[in-house]
Amino acid sequence: MSRDLPAELIDAVEQSVVKPFLAVFIDLPDPVHAFTGIGELEFEDSNGDLQTWIGAGRLGAIDTIAEATDGSATGIKVSLFDVPSEHAADIAAQATRGALFEVYVGAIELGDDWHSVIATKLLWRGRVDEYKITDAGTTLSVEISGESRAIDQRRPSIKRFTDEYQQRQHPGDLFLQYVPQMAEVSILWAKAESKSAVSNGAGGGSPGGISLSSFSE
C-alpha cells in the first residue's frame, strides 16, 4: 500500500476542517463507481479516465483496510444495503469473480456545493473474491469481498508447453503448434544387422565346426 499522497491531498488533510471520502470501483459487467457520500463526484480513475461516482450515502459501507506487519496479503469488504428486491436478478447476474477491485481516498473542497474534488489517491487494488446476496424479503443486501494482488505470491506459477500457452506469451510464434500431433507419432529407429555363419561341422573345417571363411568379410 503506497503512502505517497498528492501534495494537494496532504494540504487538505492538514487543514482544521477536512471533508474526506472513500470511493470504490468494481469492474463488473455494469461497472460500479460509488463513494461514501451523497450526490455525484467526478474525478479520474487509475487509468486517467474521468468517471462519475455515485454517492451511496448511508446505504453503503466499506470495511477498514488492514495492513499486516509481516507483509502478508489482506482483503477488503464493501456492502450495499436496502436494495429493492426486484433488482435481485440483475444483481445476481453481476457476480464476476476475479473482476478488478479498487479503493480510493480523497478530499472534497469545502464550499456551497460540496462536490468539487481536491485530489484523490488509489489506496488499494485487488480482485473480487466473493459475492454474497442476502434476501430480507422486500430488500436485499449485497456484500462483495476483495482479495489483494499480493495473494498471487502464494500461488504456484504453472507453465505448459502447449500452443495455446505459447500464443498468450508470444503471439504469432508457431514453435509449439505441432505438439498435440507429436504425441501420436510413431518413431521407427534404425536397427543394425548382424552376420554370422555357423557350420554343422561337415567338410573338415576348423576346430569346433566354425568356418574361418565367415570372418574373412
Spatial distance between the Cα atoms of 142 and 83, rounded to a whole number of angstroms? 8
Q: What is the pLDDT of residues 78-100, one digit of tens each?
A: 888 888 888 888 888 888 888 99
**Whether 64 contacts 74, CB under 8 Å:** no
The pLDDT value recorded for residue 2 is 47
Q: What is the CATH number of domain 7-157?
A: 2.30.300
Strands (E), 56-178: 60-62, 76-84, 100-108, 117-135, 139-148
**Helix %, strand %, coil % of the chain (to 5):** 20, 35, 45
The pLDDT value recorded for residue 24 is 92
Q: Tell whether the model's pLDDT for residue 23 goes beyond 60.
A: yes
Helix (H, G, I), strand (E, B) or coil at 165: helix
The pLDDT value recorded for residue 194 is 63
The pLDDT value recorded for residue 119 is 92
pTM score, two decimals?
0.63
Q: What is the pLDDT of residues 28-69, one digit of tens each?
A: 888 999 998 888 999 999 999 999 999 887 767 888 766 656
